[in-house]
Structure 1
Amino acid sequence: MTIENKTIVQRALAGLIATGDVDTLASSLSNDFVHHRPGAAPSTRTEWLAAVQTALGPTAGMQVEILHLLADSDHVVVHSRRRLPGTGPEIVVVDVLRIDNGLIAEGWEIIEPVAQAAANLTWWEGTRH
């Protein structure tokens, strides 16, 4: 099951990253797909696909580099680095996707701007002994 779930996510992302077209991704999502992001209300399938199309569409030109793709049971984790064209911001993203009946049923996304990574570690530095 783990390898099959990883393949589902790889197939969904391959077309999206290559062309910016959300059709392949859309066909891999369940109808009741829910997307979660800290500090925001959950998104429906339709809402999330519209946001992805805006970010990755042909006119946006975001580059996505998959750094890690890991699977465990019904969850697949994608660690990626994303860049906007030119001098746009660079972000690192971790997506956790839950697979149900061969489709992506739920997703959680954590985003960190690379430029802010060092500042976000200050809380950690104070806890070391």
Structure 2
Amino acid sequence: MTTENKSIVGRALAGLVDTGDVDTLASYLSEDFTHHRSDSTTSTRAQWLAAVRAALGPTAGMRVDILHLLADGDHVVVHSRRRLPDGGPEIVVVDVLRIADGLIAEGWEVIEPAGQAAANDAWWDARA
């Protein structure tokens, strides 16, 4: 199951990352897909796809590099680096996706601006 779930997510993201193909991604989402953000907001399938289309669609210009694609049971983790067009900020994103019945049923997303990583890690530094 883990290998198949990783493959499902890989296929769902391939067109999106390469060409901005949001429709292929949509075909891998369950009808009751829910997306969660670290600020406690949630989106429905339609709301999330509209946001993805605006950010990653063919005319949006965001570049996405997938760094890791890891799976454990019904969860797949995607670690990516994204660059906004026109020299905008670079962000690092971790998505945790839950697979059910061969479709992506739920997702959680954590975003960190790469330029703020050192400041955000200050709590970890024992000298701070």
Q: TM-score range by the shorter chain?
A: over 0.9
Deviation readout 1:22-43 (Å, 9 max, x if unpaired): 1110000000000000114210
In the other structure, the counterpart of 2:24 is 24
In the other structure, the counterpart of 1:108 is 108
Deviation readout 1:52-91 (Å, 9 max, x if unpaired): 0000012211000000000000000000000012311100
Measured after TM superposition, the shift of residue 21 of structure 1 is 1.9
Corresponding residue SS for 1:82: strand
Paired AA for residue 57 in structure 2: G
In the other structure, the counterpart of 1:63 is 63
Moved more, 79-88 or 61-70: 79-88
Corresponding residue SS for 1:64: strand
In the other structure, the counterpart of 1:90 is 90
In the alignment, the residues of structure 1 paired with residue 59 and residue 88 of structure 2 have an alpha-carbon distance, to the nearest angstrom, of: 14
In the other structure, the counterpart of 1:77 is 77
Matched, 1:37 2:33: no
Q: Which runs of 4+ in 1 moved over 3 A?
A: none
Moved more, 82-91 or 62-71: 82-91
In the alignment, the residues of structure 1 paired with residue 127 and residue 36 of structure 2 have an alpha-carbon distance, to the nearest angstrom, of: 29
Identity %: 74
In the alignment, the residues of structure 1 paired with residue 127 and residue 55 of structure 2 have an alpha-carbon distance, to the nearest angstrom, of: 37
Measured after TM superposition, the shift of residue 126 of structure 1 is 3.5
Aligned length: 128
In the alignment, the residues of structure 2 paired with residue 50 and residue 67 of structure 1 have an alpha-carbon distance, to the nearest angstrom, of: 24
Q: Which stretches in structure 2 are left out of the alignment for 5+ residues?
A: none
In the alignment, the residues of structure 2 paired with residue 60 and residue 40 of structure 1 have an alpha-carbon distance, to the nearest angstrom, of: 26
